[in-house]
Amino acid sequence: MPSIRQLPSGLWNVQIRVKGQKSKSASFPTKQEAQKWSVEQLTDIKCQLPMKTLYELGERFISIGLRGKRTQHETYGQLNRVCREFEELSLPKNLDQITQYHINTYRLYRLQRVANATCRKDLSLLSRIYKWGRREYMMDLPNPVDDVTIPPPSKPRTRIVEPDELAMLMSALTPIMATIIELAYETAMRRSEIIKLSPNDLHLEERYLSVIDGKTGDRPVPLTTRAVEILRKAQNECPGLKARLFPIAAHSVSTAFRRARNVVGLGNDVCLHQLRHTRITMVARKGFNQAQIMMVSGHRDSRSVQRYTHLNVQDVICLLD
């Protein structure tokens, strides 16, 4: 690990010591420059180290192949969990020892505990790691995920959250969590998009906000009257224009939602992401066309919108008259 300290001269010095590697040292005018250099050097050192285990190749894939991508931190957590579960199942750690049999054993283990979609993500990560190693380092290793039966996608959720259910959930949440949940319900924004908001992103007089570097890039989000009220209050309480309106970790929002759901007695079919489904369905019920719905949802593919729009026959009949 790098050691960063400020010298009497005011410069910031970085020292990096890794077993089996020559130590490195450099000084910089600012701490930020020192941290950036240390990250770059550690990445270079990792590239020179031999890779024998699944974790070593997976870590290199994430640090290099996913560098700068939004999913990098989340994938680190996923890799750590997968390797921990391999150990619990007494599966091999070394890349050249892992076979299709071991991957299938892991698949069956996961299917007993999680939904098909989660198991599919884990198998996809394993496959990507092997493919990346073969492509980037010419590693002569077969991909053990090949020919393993991939679970079919989970059935799409059709559940929407009713207003009284939303009220129940909010009553069991802290004020800041209740605000985030209600904003998700009013805007169809993703969890990650909401917690990144700052006052600079808000255009409340024009009734829209700007999502910067979201899942589908930058986009404007039209706001309901209630959403404007929620955001105006949050804006007034925010300490600065560049500060986050909601300084909360993404996983904390999901955890708080699950706890509130259990407290008020709602089923597992009510999840945080269903708030997004609910708002998109409400917009579709108003008779908005596809382009207008996509403006609300932020989707770029109309096929994705269909998975989120849970209309029934009565919704269509009322629009016919």
Are 178 and 280 part of one and the same domain? yes
Q: Map tokens 């959930």 to a residue.
A: 169
Same-domain pairing of 64 and 176: no
Res. 198 pLDDT band, cuts 50 70 90: very high
* pLDDT-based confidence at residue 259 (cuts at 50, 70, 90): very high
Q: How far apart are CA 149 and CA 294, in angstroms?
A: 34
Q: Which residue has the higher pLDDT, 3 or 193?
A: 193
The CATH number of the domain where 231 resides is what?
Answer: 1.10.443.10
Check whether residue 167 and residue 313 sit in a common domain: yes
pTM, 2 dp: 0.65
pLDDT over threshold 60, residue 1: no
The pLDDT of residue 319 is above 60: no
In a domain, 38, yes or no: yes
Final residue in a domain of this structure, among 69, 101, 133: 101
Exposed/middle/buried for residue 185 (C-beta within 10 Å: 0-12, 13-18, 19+) = buried
Domain end point (choices 53, 82, 101)? 101
- Residue 245 identity: L
Does the pLDDT of residue 230 top 90, yes or no?
A: yes
Tokens of 31: 């701490």
| Tens-place pLDDT, residues 153-167 | 877 667 789 999 999
* Residue 130 covered by a domain: no
Under the banding of pLDDT at 50, 70 and 90, the label for residue 49 is: low
Q: What share of the chain is helix, strand, coil (3-state, %, to 5)?
A: 55, 10, 35
Q: Quote the pLDDT of residue 50.
A: 64
Find all residues with CB under 8 Å of 246, minimum gap 6, and list them. Answer: 176, 179, 180, 194, 195, 197, 234
294 and 179 within one domain: yes
**In whole angstroms, how large is the CA radius of gyration of the chain?**
24
Q: Which of 101, 131, 147 is the last residue of a domain?
A: 101
Structure tokens at 285: 């019920």
Are 67 and 204 contained in the same domain? Answer: no
Domain of residue 193 covers 163-320
Number of domains in the chain: 2
**Domain-located, residue 83:** yes
Residue 290 is assigned to a structural domain of this protein: yes
